[in-house]
């Protein structure tokens, strides 16, 4: 997957010195964590966003441990853990922003007499 993304970036004109395979891998790792963490923050309002980031970190750590112990073809890397956790942080910030926007929107609607739903 990383190779395909890297080739796509090069094909659209991104400089090979900017889009190195290592950077693309870090970006892809981070991007994989953004949607599920953002969804978790929105869907689980009782959890604070920082708790969801912690769950993302623990999930990533678990994946890296499994790779280190069970998968000979894969290697566990601290940079993957950092990239995944960064993606979790971005996803949590996006989810928290959406949740806050939704709350403010509902308050404005209630204050103006409009109802949603």
Closest CA to 21 of 8, 35, 34: 8
Q: Which position has the token pair 């708790």?
A: 51
pLDDT at 52: 95
Q: Which position has the token pair 């739903």?
A: 117
Count of residues in the chain? 117
For residue range 46-92, what is the model confidence (pLDDT) as tens digits?
999 999 999 999 999 999 999 999 988 888 889 999 999 999 999 99
Would the pLDDT of 1 be above 80? no
pLDDT at 46: 93
Would the pLDDT of 117 be above 80? no
Closest CA to 36 of 55, 63, 23, 50: 55
Separation between Cα atoms, residue 117 and residue 114, nearest integer Å: 10
Domain boundaries, the chain: 20-112
Residue 58 and residue 40 in contact, taking contact as beta carbons nearer than 8 Å: no
Determine which of 1-5, 10-14, 65-69 has the lowest per-residue pLDDT on average: 1-5
- More confident: 33 or 106: 33
């Amino acid at each position: 997957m990383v190779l395909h993304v890297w080739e796509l970036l090069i094909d659209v004109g991104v400089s090979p010195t900017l889009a190195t395979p290592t950077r693309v891998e870090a970006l892809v790792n981070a991007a994989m964590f953004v949607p599920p963490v953002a969804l978790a923050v929105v869907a689980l309002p009782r959890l604070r966003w920082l708790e969801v980031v912690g769950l993302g970190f623990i999930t990533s750590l678990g994946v890296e441990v499994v790779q280190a112990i069970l998968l000979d073809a894969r290697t566990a890397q601290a940079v993957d853990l950092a990239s995944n956790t960064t993606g979790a942080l971005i996803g949590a910030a996006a989810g928290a922003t959406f949740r806050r926007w939704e709350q403010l929107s509902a308050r404005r609607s209630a204050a103006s007499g409009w109802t949603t739903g």
